[in-house]
Structure 1
């Protein structure tokens, strides 16, 4: 690989070798015969280019083996072989991406025909960031889509929320559809595009389970022609980011502790940097080899991928192997076969020693290694830290890991009964197996209690789905009508078991060597079923008036016998205003469309398979006289039914000067009959019951702008900006209560944002004595409210703070530049207005309470009280303090807003004539960086958290990555 790269770099610096030259000239006109100035004419062999003048004339030198590519803003690109010295061509007008075909529901549409809020991210733009997590890849690229991750651990995932959370116990995640069927598996390197459906008209055909939006993933397919191979190879390294956070070293901690107690002088004998010992520079590898091609009747795409990301935390990594084979064949004139196979094998190694926790809290006073270089066993000898733990000692013997296999196989048939009548059957089997294992050696702190212990878990799940579709299209005059009917059934099965053992010899993790068990083995199996029927009518008139209507009825075995099914409907309409005669004279506006939609969707995910049933637990706790017994656990609710969402959307698409595309959407989404597990008093004999309760509303505004700033001879520049605002409000909860979780930090209260924080308000530090202050709100007999201040935590008022873990707006900004053979892209994403509760400050910013934990250095602008009259942010440190200064309050509630330089990529396209000398069709080398810079006031390592909880605890920080890659095809 190194020799190849050096060779490419050497070749790129050589003088170009010219083939037999041909002088080509001509004119470029539009479909009305008018000359077009400013059209870029590029010669593919040597990557040279020119532009047409005011009369549409061009002249360029090329070789006879070359191809000329004509492209310009507002016109469809055209390629012509250079076989003559005179080439005159006519370009067809194109409203940039408005003619692109998009996958929507069970069919495809041109972007200009849509009546709904839909966004598409190409595979190229999706994979600028190095990850196998879709949420990470989508972050900041689609308006209204908020992706977040609570951890930088490569074995962890990320969450996606579309247009705000609107449920309590059910899932907030979108419905995923891969290659036309619900569910499925994929590898990001095989993704052709990701389509995000945000409103009811778009999600209509999946409406029964699409209350949280739909993410449609389309994988790559083969194209007819010679077999083409391509290789993408990316290597690099990652380093944990620390943001504004810094821990104290030994001297800093000693000086701080000396202000409130007398630390042992011998503690300064060591200055261990536990953070540096816990984290490392980690390697990242991502390599993909593909082959594609075929005949006019049959095409194939085969891809293999190897992905290995070491965690920046030691003893932590993810290794993933994937294989995809997509085959399409026109078996007869009327019958088409599509067979898709995808396999994923994943090995995850988790850090088993609580290393992140110790990296933050272990004292620098304690040594990591003995004099002989072996890790210290912290349980013996002098150890100043509270937990007496050294992860380096434990990781010699312990492990925690998992492996999983996932196979998805699709068999799809499309049969044209008539030229305008198609019968299709789409069938999928999805099989998943997962095995986790942990071992704690008797020689370690973690394994000592049980004299060595091991844990093993296995789970298996399968999903079988068959979707049968009948589609009819008819065109008469200026009218076009498409009718679709679908019958679909999905069956799921899963089973699991787990076991644990103790009394294991040192270094022996096999269960057969154990002398006892820790807990009785557990196991069980589950199954579920969905049955769906739907119908849709899609109508257009004169290609400027569009209407769509659909109705969906779906049954789910998860709901009660009285209401197992529900019916949902969707309506949408749009009007291309620029096709009206009165718009012909408005030249600046190239395209203008008005959209509107209204509909209902549902949610059935995130609850148990048997949520409506009365359940019993059969376990050892209910046994009697050695015989198994059962105890009630869940009360039955035969009326339990679908969670429902009503959504209205108004949208406007406008294109200015054939180069600036703007989409604006305003929406309101109201979720009702929320699925909620209500806990019951112990006296009832049940732990709780699932009910349909409450109403939550989300309102928002989304804006997306794409601008082709420059399209010149050697230079192009394109910008995309998106921003989305969402406001959430709880309108109703159950049984006349005002809150769902009374007394919680986020109680979900009526009239408030469901993610609003509820806690005592921190009022700072009393300048007179250095004690903490909180607000105490009182009301007099006349109902007037007053705010007093108190040093006593129990007298502080718990109030709604007006601050929420949900951001006020989110978005992204990308710029793509090209200059001759060079390309440069930058991508920023931002989150604004959310508040993160920095839970971890309870431990390392506690004003003297925990002297046996390391402490953070004060952030910029923070100060500690030292003498009367000081205006400080932190109270006077007190050894073993008892005034609850570190208890829950707005003291640790921090602004989580941030602006992040998510990715920068610089690439070089090797000239075609050089590539051909290496028997390559094309070659590109590039360098990129992820998470290069973050602007934030947050005091922790990283402001990005799981926005559903809004907590930042002892966090595994995000990684900064530097990558080098090469893409070649041959």
Structure 2
């Protein structure tokens, strides 16, 4: 109705709500004009403006948010204007002598009334029967990054984001409610604008919904085991075209925490206790860390336009992002273009056309640079007398073990890649009747990438092969169609929605690579290679998924809710005997606050109980031909001088999905309409785990993919949001979320008690998947300074005792290696934020924290090794650490000896460190110019801000950064090795709209 009124109205003309007053009443009247905007400064269209206690005088705002009405003289005394609009708190303003009013209205929609996307439908938060966390754009964009995982860190309970590198080309990894697999993937499924997969840029994201329990994730069937992240991009709104420019500029510096390497004097003093050094080495004091790291610059610029009519709206955006890594010769550049168009083609047919294109250019960090930054000796010079980087191979008197100066190599060598990712959606919704809707959602996605790695013959890396070049290309084309029918009807107090979906997806992919050697200096193209370094490789693959699902959603009187669904899915990934699988989901909720005993309760303003149970699957992370028998063609299997084929992978026609059965119970409470508490408890048990099982060489195969064993995750998570102060000029909001998760291996196949025996983190029945199993460090022998470990001894009667030994080989036997009780999995994670607003100022601070995890600091093998590598630099001992010097010393570090002290730096619990930390992830101060300052500038909004990321970290970890990968079941879980540290960022931004 509002839209129809606007269509027939001219801007600036008053629209009486109940007819005009009789003539003669407007004899000495006053014309009042003004504008109405929302909290973000955007015009509100269709706001009703009336004179209090006289609805006969009124108007509505036009497409620009402007209004004009004429008030008769006899109503001017003590006149008050009332502004009202659906979804916004009504406002009253005394007119006085004013002739123009510029009003900002605040949304009255509570968090519970927000609509979120769940599965294939949208629901208000208060009507959900599932565990869902929603993060809006404003909460998402406080931290500066071009990768969504980094923006999600600490924002939602049960969502753990971790990164093992500060490299801007490396995104963080996401783990939802713990890992429950051995060899398959742990990454959540990403759904963009209603379709599985897709590309997007964080600047275009309107909101993120994280689906965690099966009532929400189950509709995605075989790929929902690790949770689902639904990305909703911005859409246009009817009204005047809004053009916005958002600009961020800043710089970044590598963090080092409490970690510091020795300078020349410190290293000379230390090594003089066990290794004679000529004092002449003190003439040089090179800080290799400072040579390897720099101040990096960050640029993020976005322009967007949105608007449209009642029938057609649009949102168009272009983004440029450039971040220099703090390590030299490392950066990421991204270009993104998005166009979202939605239109009502006919009365019954609506369409959306969504386009997104991403072009990325990555210059990867050189691993030699990082290695040398930690290990090169300060005694060796970086530059010659002319200021040119020294080639350490030919420099007389170079003392470092590896004779490598990365500053010389990076002049010529590089590793880089570029990719183009284009995604186009065509989504149609047709109202067959007022109760039945037919929908067809379709996407085509193209990804094309190129990579190149070049080592010039003038460098150490390229010298052996007289220059070498590696080229690679990848291509994929993904087609998806999802066709849906929805029936929805209310029968008195009963409401029923039926959903049916048929979905098909096919991905075609190909890859090729070539490597050549014998390239002239500076000629980094394959055409000048004089020989083949390795044989060319390549593949062409096709993978298909097909899914049918049905769902029944029922509610009674908006009090009692039931939802049930069934999914049947096929995938070409699995064996011919088990290529399909069935999954089910059940959910229920009860809104207690709609019952008579809680209605109008002033303390408990909302209360709901939720429960869900069901199954999902995991098909992520395995090879596309995991179920098939494969052969490798090579000269190693030659016959009569011709290449031959040899078995490599044994086939398994019974291979099928991992099955995850999950139960969740939770409640939502609101107190005084100011405090919101959400609590969930869950149990998630994975069975038929996908496992790449090694085979003995006598079988003729290297491995076979099988379904093996079961793992259980259980935990509790909560989110607490509190509006501490809400006043006319000052507001203060706090949000705290925490999650506790425990993991346990329940069973392994064939009666096995352990997989990957001998690994630092084997998979063992009765233990956490990430628990460390290794020789147990017993400290330093105070009498002689030797290292000590625990040794397990069994006597003839089978009695077990522990002894101390200084012989490492006795401590690392299968009998002596022990489960340490320490795991890489944290006991709890979370985040806390505070947002304060005063008039036009906004101040926010956000902390994230991880507690109870242990990090294996493998880096110390190199620079904390008790004399083993006298040709490497050493770390300055952390506070509280000490080295043995004389009998009776109770030291943390053994006596240093040339060549090392009895394998003291070998793998053991010595290098396990507490990885707990709390980090000031972001602080941001913003200011928006008031309307009276904007005047007639043409701008509808201008705001500026200053911001800082990763400004402080509290931890006991001795390395540069305690944050490590926590989300992958692999050898890097909980591992810190020559870490590329994250960076502190200091940023300034200016945003304006008109």
TM-score, scaled relative to structure 1: 0.91
Displacement of 1:658 after TM fit?
0.8
Whether 2:516 is the aligned partner of 1:497: answer: no
Shift in CA distance, 445/246, structure 1 to aligned 2, threshold 3 Å: same
1:186 and 1:873 mapped to 2: Cα distance? Answer: 50
Counterpart for residue 688 of structure 2: 673
Counterpart for residue 513 of structure 1: 528
Counterpart for residue 759 of structure 2: 744
Alignment of 1:363-402 (within 5 A): 363-380=377-394, 381-402=396-417
Displacement of 1:441 after TM fit?
1.1
Counterpart for residue 250 of structure 1: 264
Shift in CA distance, 479/581, structure 1 to aligned 2, threshold 3 Å: same
2:456 and 2:430 mapped to 1: Cα distance? Answer: 61
Alignment of 1:547-946 (within 5 A): 547-584=562-599, 586-779=601-794, 785-796=800-811, 797-881=816-900, 883-946=902-965
Asked whether the 8 Å contact 2:79–2:96 carries over to 1, the reply is: no
Shift in CA distance, 357/79, structure 1 to aligned 2, threshold 3 Å: farther
2:599 and 2:701 mapped to 1: Cα distance? Answer: 70
Shift in CA distance, 616/865, structure 1 to aligned 2, threshold 3 Å: same
Give a deviation string over 1:18-44, Cα, whole Å, max 9, x none.
x9999x9xxxxxxxx9xxxxxxxxxxx
Counterpart for residue 268 of structure 1: 282
Asked whether the 8 Å contact 1:95–1:591 carries over to 2, the reply is: no
Counterpart for residue 141 of structure 1: 155
User: Which runs of at least 4 in structure 1 moved beyond 4 Å after TM superposition?
Assistant: 19-22, 59-62, 67-71, 79-87, 91-95, 779-785
Counterpart for residue 220 of structure 2: 206
Displacement of 1:344 after TM fit?
0.3
Q: Aligned to 1:169, which of 157, 179, 183? A: 183
Displacement of 1:77 after TM fit?
2.4
TM-score, scaled relative to structure 2: 0.89
Displacement of 1:96 after TM fit?
2.2
Displacement of 1:625 after TM fit?
4.1
Asked whether the 8 Å contact 1:706–1:720 carries over to 2, the reply is: yes
Counterpart for residue 6 of structure 1: none
Counterpart for residue 301 of structure 2: 287
Displacement of 1:479 after TM fit?
0.5
Asked whether the 8 Å contact 1:430–1:464 carries over to 2, the reply is: yes
Asked whether the 8 Å contact 2:721–2:733 carries over to 1, the reply is: yes
Shift in CA distance, 236/94, structure 1 to aligned 2, threshold 3 Å: closer
Give a deviation string over 1:795-853, Cα, whole Å, max 9, x none.
22210000000000000000000011100000000000000000010000000000001
Shift in CA distance, 788/95, structure 1 to aligned 2, threshold 3 Å: farther
Counterpart for residue 42 of structure 1: none
Displacement of 1:82 after TM fit?
8.1
Whether 2:549 is the aligned partner of 1:537: answer: no
Q: Aligned to 1:216, which of 216, 219, 230? A: 230
Shift in CA distance, 626/778, structure 1 to aligned 2, threshold 3 Å: closer
Shift in CA distance, 955/189, structure 1 to aligned 2, threshold 3 Å: same
Shift in CA distance, 592/891, structure 1 to aligned 2, threshold 3 Å: same
Asked whether the 8 Å contact 1:132–1:188 carries over to 2, the reply is: yes
Displacement of 1:213 after TM fit?
0.5
Displacement of 1:108 after TM fit?
0.1
Counterpart for residue 338 of structure 1: 352
1:487 and 1:336 mapped to 2: Cα distance? Answer: 20
Paired residue secondary structure (1:938): coil
Displacement of 1:256 after TM fit?
0.5
Asked whether the 8 Å contact 1:238–1:960 carries over to 2, the reply is: yes
Q: Aligned to 2:981, which of 936, 957, 966? A: 957
Paired residue secondary structure (1:520): strand
Shift in CA distance, 61/118, structure 1 to aligned 2, threshold 3 Å: farther
Shift in CA distance, 274/84, structure 1 to aligned 2, threshold 3 Å: same
Paired residue secondary structure (2:975): coil
Asked whether the 8 Å contact 2:78–2:95 carries over to 1, the reply is: no
Counterpart for residue 362 of structure 1: 376
Give a deviation string over 1:396-424, Cα, whole Å, max 9, x none.
11111100000000001100000110000
Displacement of 1:264 after TM fit?
2.7
Displacement of 1:133 after TM fit?
1.4
Counterpart for residue 487 of structure 2: 472
2:221 and 2:507 mapped to 1: Cα distance? Answer: 20
Whether 2:200 is the aligned partner of 1:186: answer: yes
Shift in CA distance, 92/149, structure 1 to aligned 2, threshold 3 Å: closer
1:377 and 1:564 mapped to 2: Cα distance? Answer: 58
Asked whether the 8 Å contact 2:692–2:703 carries over to 1, the reply is: yes
Shift in CA distance, 113/791, structure 1 to aligned 2, threshold 3 Å: same
More deviation, 590-599/879-888: 879-888
Displacement of 1:760 after TM fit?
1.1
Paired residue secondary structure (1:115): coil
1:552 and 1:228 mapped to 2: Cα distance? Answer: 43
Q: Aligned to 2:539, which of 524, 548, 565? A: 524
Paired residue secondary structure (1:774): strand
Paired residue secondary structure (1:206): helix
Structure 1, unaligned stretches of length 5 or more?
1-18, 25-32, 34-44, 46-58
Question: Paired residues, what number?
Answer: 911
Asked whether the 8 Å contact 1:708–1:719 carries over to 2, the reply is: yes
Shift in CA distance, 80/435, structure 1 to aligned 2, threshold 3 Å: farther
Asked whether the 8 Å contact 1:208–1:552 carries over to 2, the reply is: no
Displacement of 1:621 after TM fit?
2.7
Give a deviation string over 1:155-185, Cα, whole Å, max 9, x none.
1111100000000111001011000000000
1:939 and 1:351 mapped to 2: Cα distance? Answer: 23
Paired residue secondary structure (1:379): helix
Counterpart for residue 121 of structure 1: 135
Asked whether the 8 Å contact 1:95–1:590 carries over to 2, the reply is: no
Displacement of 1:619 after TM fit?
2.7
